[in-house]
Amino acid sequence: MRLLMTGFMPFPGVDVNPTQLPIRYFQDETVALPKGVQLIPEVLPTAFEAAELRIRHLIREEQPDAVLCLGVAQKREAINIERIAHNWDEAIIPDMDGVQLSGQKIVSDAPEMYYSTLPIERMMAILLAADIPAVFSDDAGRYVCNHVFYCARHEIDQLGRNMPCGFVHVPGLAGMGEFPGWEIERLLDGVKCCVEAIGGA
């Protein structure tokens, strides 16, 4: 299985984006992956247009077997397995390019939402079995995270591919803001569980 896994660059209010760290970690060829999993790691710009263009390009050109997008939600205290991507941008802060989209559809004449097609029940079971806090979420926000989630699902839908695709929010890093956050080791363990679940599905 060729798994496209994406994280994000920093953005206003987040100087270090923890989703870059699993990408760098898995880029190390000495890191063991679940049997049969080949990772395509990518850090996306935290910018609406640039991230959309990049994720669509990667899906078309790399032709992965599954897509796992990661984003940070500073206030959340558990891994959030997102179930729904909404066709709407409503940013309260600008992206890294200074663009602040507010109150508009991502794709006109497209579904109001797409559902995650990842093995989310299996992901949840493996996370909880590893004693890693995790919950399901139906709100991926309306910032670049949701935008990328929606665009990835829409691209796959337009290509007519039967490709598992979804989004996971992780907490912020400990000591990097006003919220408690997680140590990097715990965050990496959580992402490893998600990769294991997808690879074994």
Distance of CA 156 to the CA centre of its chain: 15
Q: Would you say 106 and 75 are in contact if contact means Cβ atoms under 8 Å apart? A: no
Catalytic residue among 86, 147, 154, 169: 169
pLDDT digits (tens, 9 = 90+) for 137-149: 999 999 999 999 9
The residue annotated as part of the active site, out of 145, 151, 193, 194, is: 145
Give the dihedral of Cα atoms 126, 129, 135, 141; nearest 10 deg: -40
Range list of H helices, the chain: 20-27, 48-62, 120-129, 144-159, 184-200
Q: Which one is catalytic: 82, 86, 155, 165? A: 82
pLDDT digits (tens, 9 = 90+) for 170-197: 999 998 777 788 999 999 999 999 999 9
- Report domain 2-200's class: alpha beta
For the chain, the domains span 2-200
CB 90 within 8 A of CB 43: no
151 in catalytic set: no
State the sign of the Cα–Cα–Cα–Cα dihedral 18, 21, 22, 24.
positive
| pLDDT over threshold 70, residue 81 | yes
Split at pLDDT 50, 70, 90, the class of 90 is: very high
Choose among 186, 185, 177, 169: nearest CA to 73.
169
Local structure of 130: helix, strand or coil:
coil
